[in-house]
Structure 1
Amino acid sequence: MKKIISLLCITLLSVVLIGCASKSTKLDAEGYSTKLKDAGMEINNLIIYTAETDENKLLGRPNQYTSKVNFDNGTIEVFEKTEDAKERKEYIDNIGKKMNALVEYSYIKDGTLLRINKYVAPDMAEKYKEAFEK
């Protein structure tokens, strides 16, 4: 009887562990850039930032992005919490309202902020958005 109970416990534990292992992991900024490129979007001159090379000195800081990349048409910033991404978007949008030269397209998905340069045509910005949201 003890052997049967032990075998059932081991089987149950194995199923639980396999289920946990199959959960998808969140992409970092470089992973999102790869997905966009695979979707046919232009991702040229990719720069992958570290805490030392981040010009804003926000990478890895409390409530800030955990990874960041720049490319010719924009920036991708990944946050631990969607709330932090929303606050960053709001901050950048407010700057754009005060200084038209800094306005840009911006989209949020799962704690990730995609920022597209204002010089990108609206229809192309929409394509970036669609590819990002898939």
Structure 2
Amino acid sequence: MTSTRNTLRRSIASLTTGAALALTVVGCSSEPAATADQVVAKLTAKVTSAAAGAAITAKNDRNNLLGRPSGCTSAMTFTDSRVPAEQRDPDPLSTSNGGKVETFETADQAQARADYINKIAEAAPALAGEYNYVSGTSIVRVTRTLTPAQAAEYEAALE
């Protein structure tokens, strides 16, 4: 009788644990990752000097990442009014005017992209360099024209 009870208890415990794990997996996968325009909207709602920029498409993507294997799934630039007029780029796709949001299928891909950009900046600090903030499957690239405190507003806006 005691062994039957113990077996029954173990079975109930296993079922309960299995059900909890199943609910956790379902709960995690029910919300899709944010798109670049959604992240830009979040940033512009919290950083008053920021405004939405241009959408990056497969046709105008200079990095040839959008929609390609291991590439980003969406991308969009944003502007920041604190960038001095004489330092602004007339190209609406430039990150120099404020920054750019790139989203990926996985957080690991977003982190790998940030690591790659940082490695380039380390090799040529006078030519490259920007603030990069990874949040989940997104990377927010902020122009180095902004001060560290100004750029940190974007990091705070992601929280």
Residue of structure 1 equivalent to 2:99? 74
Question: What TM-score results when the alignment is normalised by the length of structure 2?
Answer: 0.66
SS in 1 for 2:118: helix
Cα distance between partner residues in 1 of 2:47 and 2:120: 30
Structural RMSD (CA): 1.8
Identity of aligned residues (%): 28
Cα distance between partner residues in 2 of 1:43 and 1:65: 22
Shift in alpha-carbon separation, 1:42–1:24, aligned structure 2, 3 A: farther
Unmatched 5+ stretches in structure 1 = 1-15
Larger radius of gyration: 2
Cα distance between partner residues in 2 of 1:80 and 1:42: 29
Residue of structure 2 equivalent to 1:54? 61
**Runs of 4+ residues over 6 Å off in structure 1:** none
Alignment-mate amino acid for residue 125 of structure 1? A
1:22-61 aligned at under 5 Å gives the runs 23-44=30-51, 46-61=53-68
Q: Deviations over 1:65-99 (max 9, x none)?
A: 10001122111000001111111111100100011
- Conserved? CA contact 1:41–1:128, under 8 Å: no
Aligned residues: 114
Cα distance between partner residues in 2 of 1:45 and 1:30: 8
Cα distance between partner residues in 2 of 1:76 and 1:47: 11
- Conserved? CA contact 1:59–1:66, under 8 Å: yes
1:1-134 aligned at under 5 Å gives the runs 23-44=30-51, 46-71=53-78, 72-100=97-125, 101-132=127-158, 134=159
Cα distance between partner residues in 1 of 2:139 and 2:77: 12
Question: What TM-score results when the alignment is normalised by the length of structure 1?
Answer: 0.78
- Conserved? CA contact 1:33–1:76, under 8 Å: yes
Shift in alpha-carbon separation, 1:48–1:103, aligned structure 2, 3 A: same
Cα distance between partner residues in 1 of 2:148 and 2:49: 15
SS in 1 for 2:68: coil
- Conserved? CA contact 1:28–1:67, under 8 Å: yes
Alignment-mate amino acid for residue 62 of structure 1? P
